[in-house]
Amino acid sequence: MKLNHLWILLLVSSLFFSCKENFTGDPNIAQVDTLAQENFNYTVEEFADIKILRYQIPGWENLSLKEQKLVYYLVEAGLAGRDIMWDQNYRHNLKIREALENIYTTYQGEKEAPDWQAFEIYLKRVWFSNGIHHHYSNDKIKPEFSRDYFDTLLSDTNTQLTGDAYEVIFNDKDTKKVNLDESKGLLEGSAVNFYGEDVTAADVEAFYKTKTSPDSNRPLSFGLNSKLVKENGQLVEKVWKSGGMYGPAIDEIVKWLQKAREVAENEQQGKALGLLIDYYNSGDLKTWDEYNVAWVQATEGNIDYINSFIEVYNDPLGYRGSYENIVQIKDFEMSEKMSVLEENVQWFEDNAPLMPEHKKDSVKGVTYKTVIVAGEAGDASPSTPIGVNLPNANWIRVEYGSKSVSLGNIIEAYNNAGSSDVLNEFAFDEEEKQLQEQYGQDAGKLHTALHEVVGHASGKINPGVGEPKETLKSYASTLEEGRADLIGLYFIMDPKIQELGLTDNWQNLGKASYDSYIRNGLITQLRRLNLGDNVEESHMRNRQWVSAWVFEKGLDEGVIEKVNRDGKTYFDIKNYERLRELFGELLMETQRIKSEGDYEAAKDLVENYGVRVDQEIHKEVLDRNAQFKSPPYSGFVNPVLVTATDEDGEITSIGIEQPADFATQMLRYSEDYNNLPVKE
């Protein structure tokens, strides 16, 4: 399961998932609008509706050379299959890409004119989508240049592109990559290259009806790794395996996976890699399941990966997996924070401002896992998920569990791109900006860790009271998220945090955290709503009801001051200690509501503080935000892993470089990983 494409993050909310659901990565990180760290330039470029970002690989130097090699081989394995994704998306994609790239690299004519710029943007959009259909809307991308101009480019550069592959750029055929409108025919209306052109949905249904798994409790993933075509009137699967369809690319993948296996960190990881190799060699779906079981059990080690035909969203019938690769390194910093909190989780429970009867005598921390991405390919690149929960086979999840991770450095890059401008606009004064700059990042991470490890674990429900889902109904989720946030807010401004070695200045850390939370809850998150809308999403609601409640309760004492300066509204926290007490009071009440299942109180809290938006402030915020309009979709270039070798060709070190720009990386990929040569 792919969790939360970036556009969701940007369009809707950074805090999109309920932590109670599969996604454990609660992007509280995403809510902290910190100044970019270390002057790292996150933004590469923007074109059309796309923003290209870059990400860092923090902690790379903590890996041994052997571990770095493992990462490198897995990244290479991923890229080796890049062109599979292009061909899966559409049968003419590779041919079209080859022609476009040939024009792009050899054209000697005028490059300042709008026509050429339109051509360049078209190519970049095609690169971004791994084909000629928009990565998200699935609509065929319309070129903003004329057919005549394109003909000139073709002839001036001596580029061959004829027939359907040429016509389709301009005509109205294959307009949708994945069509889910049944009236147009799920397959007939979809351009995706998973079925022969004469295969119908009814054919597919009939074909797979006859397939039975040896063990009906452990169903095989039929259709996951093949294209279904008709040959002489018979339906045949063209299996994606060594020697089969995509064989040349798969052999390259296997070559790198074998190298990876030689430097595996432990036996279980090596076993899983071995099974993945077997699967690529045989195409056998039983082996695929064995691999997934081994992979899900390979939990030791600092490196992990996703590689194969995984998500089935691109198949309108939901059988066939898109090729995908994500290489992950343990997030050492976050893991350390989590484990310190976990070891001390009872202290937090004992010292939480809860009614004694709502405290747990023996509390166990909830952990979630963030990883650092080292490279992505296929379905995960350039557009990437921010979290992943696999495997998809339900019976494996039930019997063996699953791995769920959030992609920490990807989320960080999203948050930091352009955030300093937003901070400058909405922060009250220099002090607030500086605290944010110095402590914002740490505060965000620690708040997330407290929210997850301590927050969701804390408190107990009174005997005889049902689960919040039953008692608090539609308010359960926002109540739970707010409660976990409040635990985080209460303890982030506690000397205990410094005593545990989690910060060098608990007061400043706390202030940065409170500033950010209030600013977001009362002001900046409104940027995500249209004027006139209520707050609907659970996390956005909880940030508003927490912030609005403490603002109101502290009004008489002037805890948080609402300031209007030059027609702009700011919230300035005057008394952090008192604010902390108010967070504590609200935490106690929220836990009481949960423990007693007090539906009316939950409803009052959420409806009175969390739903409605002050229209005047909202309009003002949108006006102030208009200057920061950025493209709705984002994606990433990958850092480049650069190897140095000795005279025997042995790798002696691996460094990280950032690609100069998007085109440079795309062209290099097409050149170096051109493993499915286009047939003439």
Query: Binding segment for Zn ion among 25-33, 157-165, 264-272, 371-379 (CB under 5 A)?
Result: 25-33
d(CA 362, CA 350): 10
Nearest residue (CB) to Zn ion, 244 versus 482? 482
626: helix, strand or coil: helix
CA separation, residue 308 to residues 135, 247, 266, 330 (Å): 19, 13, 21, 21
Among 3, 23, 26, 411, binds Zn ion (CB under 5 A): 26
Q: DSSP label at 453?
A: I
Task: Tell the smallest beta-carbon distance from residue 399 to Zn ion (Å).
Answer: 27
| 259-to-263, 264, 301, 310, 391 alpha-carbon distances in Å | 7, 9, 17, 22, 24
CB of 15 to Zn ion, least distance (A): 8
Stretch that binds Zn ion, among 15-23, 71-79, 82-90, 601-609 (CB under 5 A): 15-23
Q: Which is nearer to Zn ion, 409 or 458 (CB)?
A: 458
Smallest separation (angstroms) from Zn ion to the CB of 477: 9
Other C-beta atoms lying within 10 Å of the C-beta of residue 267: 10
d(CA 55, CA 32): 17
Nearest residue (CB) to Zn ion, 15 versus 380: 15
Tell the smallest beta-carbon distance from residue 456 to Zn ion (Å): 6
Pair of tokens at residue 365: 């921390």
Which DSSP category does 304 fall into?
E
**Options 80, 85, 366, 484; binder of Zn ion; rule CB under 5 A:** 484
* Binding segment (CB under 5 A) for Zn ion, from list 98-106, 360-368, 407-415, 478-486: 478-486
Strand partners, 378: 324
Q: Is 19 in the site for Zn ion (CB under 5 A)?
A: yes
Provide, rounded to whole angstroms, the least separation between the CB of residue 481 and Zn ion: 5
CB of 666 to Zn ion, least distance (A): 37
CB 33 within 8 A of CB 421: no
Q: Under rule CB under 5 A, which residues in 290-319 are in contact with Zn ion?
A: none
Q: Are 310 and 291 in contact (CB under 8 A)?
A: no
Say whether residue 548 binds Zn ion (CB under 5 A).
no
Which residue number has the CB closest to Zn ion?
A: 19
Q: Is 396 in the site for Zn ion (CB under 5 A)?
A: no
Nearest distance in Å: CB 542, Zn ion: 9
Q: Which two tokens stand for residue 599?
A: 């539906």
Q: Would you say 26 or 87 has its CB closer to Zn ion? A: 26
- 572: contact with Zn ion by CB under 5 A: no
Distance CA 188, CA 199 (A): 8
Strand (E) or helix (H) holding 105 = helix 93-106
Site stretch for Zn ion (CB under 5 A), options 14-22, 99-107, 354-362, 622-630: 14-22
CB nearer Zn ion, residue 314 or residue 477: 477
Nearest CB to Zn ion, comparing residues 26 and 442: 26
The three-state DSSP-derived secondary structure of 183-228 is: HHCCCCCCCCCCECCCCCHHHHHHHHHCCCCCCCCCCCCCCCCEEE
Positions touching Zn ion (CB under 5 A) are: 19, 26, 481, 484
